[in-house]
Structure 1
Amino acid sequence: MSTLEHLHPALWRATQLAHGDLATTDTGYAVLRTELPGGGWPLGRMTEILSEPGSAAEMRLLLPALSQIHSGPIALLNPPHIPQIAAFTAQQIPAQRLLWLPTQTHQDSLWAAEQIIRHGSCAALLFWQATIRPEALRRLHLLAQQTQMAFFMLRPENTASNPSPALLRVQVHSVSYGLQVRILKRRGAQSLASLPLYLPQHPYLAGLSHDRTQGLPQDVVRSNRAMHGIVQP
C-alpha cells in the first residue's frame, strides 16, 4: 500500500522536506545540501537571500553554486558595489559571462529584471533590491516559473519579517569561521538551528577584520577576498 507522500510527487508531510521533480543546482556546501528540498537552490523559482548590507555574505554564499552553472550569462542587477571580477574568476567563472547592470531608479531595476526573466537570456539573475512591493515580487516569481533560471533576490536582513512568495528564504551572516545560515522558509519542516558554513582562511588574514588589512601586501588581500567571493567597492 502506498504511503500518502507517494500518491503524488508534489505531496509532502509538514515534518519532511519536500520532494518531487523541481530542478535545483547544488549550493556547493554539504551542510546545505541536506537541508534544502531537492538538495540545492531551486531553478525556475525565486530564492531570497537576506544579509547585512555591505557584508558581501550573499556573494560568498552563492559563488560556489554559480561556478557550477556552466553555460549562459550571469546577470548582476543593481549590485551595491562594482563586482570584484577576481572573485568570479577564482571560481572558474569567466568575466565574459558576467553582465553588470547598474540602474538609476527602482522602476528601471524592475523593468530590467522582468526583461531578463521573460526572455530567458541568462542562466542566473542576482537582483539586489532593498525595497520592493509584494505585487512586484509575486510578478517576478510567476515569471521565473516559466524558466529554468537560477533567480536570487538579494535583500537586507531587516526584511525578514515581510511576507514573500519566494519558495526559499535564507538569511546569511559573515562570521569568523565563514558564514552562518538560517533557513527562514522552505517547503517542509521548519528549520530552527543556524547552519555553520566553514570557509578556508588565508593565514595572513585569519581573524583580521576588514579595516585591519591596511598593512598587508595587496596581492594577499586581493587573493583572500577573491577566495571568499567578496565584492569590493
Structure 2
Amino acid sequence: MTLPLSTLPAGLWRASELAHCHRAGHSTGFAALDAELPGAGWPRGAVTELLSERLGIGEWRLLAPALRDLTQAGQPVMVIAPPMLPYAPALAGWGIDLRWLSVVMRPAHAAHVQRQGPRARGGRSMRTEDRDMLWCAEQALKSACCGAVLTWLPAATPEQIRRLQVAAGGGETLAWVMRGAAAAATASAAPLRLGLAVGEGSRLGVQFHKRRGPPRLEPLWLTLPAPYARVPQSVTGGADDEQPAHLRPDPAPSSSPSTVSFVSASGVSHGLLDRPASAVSGTRDRLCAHTG
C-alpha cells in the first residue's frame, strides 16, 4: 500500500527538500543564508558546527546579528574558550548589549599550548583544560538560562559533540561550536555543519557540509558587516576583534565601564574588558589574546 506524502509524520522529510522544523530557527541576519537553512535560521536546541581553516576570518561578524538580537532582548550569551580575547568596543559597535555577554577564558598557559598546534597538545594538562571547557558548555546548555552558547573546541571528539547535542536537545538555546576545517572528515551528531572560507573584502564563503536538506556543492558567499565599527566614547573594552592594535581607536576612560563578565577557567575574575583598549595592549600580548 502506498501512502500519500501528506499523511507522513511531520518529523519525516524528503532529502530533496529542506526539513520542515516544528519550530522556526533564529534568523541569521542574512536572508540568503536563512533561505538555505531548515527552519529559516540558526536551529534552536541543536548544535551548529562552524569549521574554518584559520581563526579570525569573520566568525564574530557572521554571528553578530543573532547575538545582537538575543542580548538586546535580555537573553544571556555565554562565550566559552575563545582563543583570542573579544574586543568589547567592536561588539558594542555591532549593537551587542555587553551586559548580557559573559566570557570564560582558558588559563594563559593553556591558550599558549593551543596556539602551538597538535604536537604541543599531548600533555595531560591540555586534555584537562579541554574537559573543563566541555563541562562549561554542557552546563550552560543544560541550564536553559542562556539565549546562546558559543564555544571553541578544536580537539572535540564525536562523542563530545554528541554530549553537547544531547545537552542542547529540546531547549531553545542556540549553540555554536567552532572547530578546524579538518573536522569535516569526521562524524558528528550536530545536525548543521558549515565550513567557513575567507573571500575578498568583507566576503565570507559558507560551505554546507551537513544540513537536513539537499546537498549544495557551491559555497554561499555573504557580505559581512564592517570588521570594526566606531562606538561611543562611553564604551571601553579589551583586546581586538580583527583590527591590528595600531589601527584601533583609543576609547577614552569612562565612569560607566563595559559590563562584560570575564572569568578564567580557574574561576579568577579579570577586569580586562573594563579598561580602555590602550591599558589592555600589554596584558593582551601576555595572554596571547586576539580575536576573530
Tell me the TM-score normalized by structure 2.
0.67
Q: Contact 1:51–1:57 (CA<8 Å) still a contact in 2?
A: no
Aligned residue among 216, 228, 238 for 1:191:
216
1:7 maps onto 2:32 in alignment: no
Residue number in structure 1 paired with 2:264: none
Query: CA offset at residue 121 of structure 1?
Result: 2.4
Determine helix, strand or coil for the equivalent of 2:249: helix
Relative distance call for 1:76 and 1:35 in structure 2 (3 A) is: same
The amino acid across from 2:38 in the alignment is P
The CA distance in 1 between the partners of 2:226 and 2:57, in whole Å, is 16
Superposition RMSD on alpha carbons, in Å?
A: 2.4
Q: Contact 1:55–1:174 (CA<8 Å) still a contact in 2?
A: no
Q: Contact 1:17–1:36 (CA<8 Å) still a contact in 2?
A: yes
Relative distance call for 1:196 and 1:5 in structure 2 (3 A) is: farther
The amino acid across from 1:89 in the alignment is A
Residue number in structure 2 paired with 1:124: 148
Query: CA offset at residue 201 of structure 1?
Result: 5.4
Identity of aligned residues (%): 35
Q: Contact 2:49–2:190 (CA<8 Å) still a contact in 1?
A: yes
1:219 maps onto 2:249 in alignment: yes
Residue number in structure 1 paired with 2:124: none
Aligned residue among 72, 83, 101 for 1:98:
101
Any residues of structure 2 matched to 1:1-233 within 5 Å, and which?
A: 3-4=4-5, 7-69=8-70, 70-104=73-107, 105-177=129-201, 178-199=203-224, 218-219=248-249, 232=291
**Bigger radius of gyration:** 2
Determine helix, strand or coil for the equivalent of 1:50: strand
Stretches of 4+ aligned residues off by more than 6 angstroms? none
Q: Contact 2:82–2:291 (CA<8 Å) still a contact in 1?
A: no
Determine helix, strand or coil for the equivalent of 1:86: helix
Query: CA offset at residue 63 of structure 1?
Result: 0.9
The CA distance in 2 between the partners of 1:84 and 1:214, in whole Å, is 11
The CA distance in 1 between the partners of 2:95 and 2:245, in whole Å, is 28
Query: CA offset at residue 72 of structure 1?
Result: 1.6
Determine helix, strand or coil for the equivalent of 1:219: coil
Aligned residues: 214
The amino acid across from 1:173 in the alignment is A
Q: Deviations over 1:92-124 (max 9, x none)?
A: 211111111013411111111111111122110
Query: CA offset at residue 77 of structure 1?
Result: 0.1
Query: CA offset at residue 11 of structure 1?
Result: 1.9
Tell me the TM-score normalized by structure 1.
0.83
The amino acid across from 1:183 in the alignment is F
Query: CA offset at residue 6 of structure 1?
Result: 5.3
The amino acid across from 2:96 in the alignment is I
The CA distance in 1 between the partners of 2:224 and 2:25, in whole Å, is 23
The CA distance in 1 between the partners of 2:5 and 2:40, in whole Å, is 22
Q: Contact 1:46–1:151 (CA<8 Å) still a contact in 2?
A: yes
The amino acid across from 2:16 in the alignment is T
Residue number in structure 1 paired with 2:126: none
The CA distance in 2 between the partners of 1:155 and 1:7, in whole Å, is 36
Relative distance call for 1:199 and 1:151 in structure 2 (3 A) is: closer
The CA distance in 2 between the partners of 1:214 and 1:121, in whole Å, is 35
Query: CA offset at residue 200 of structure 1?
Result: 5.4
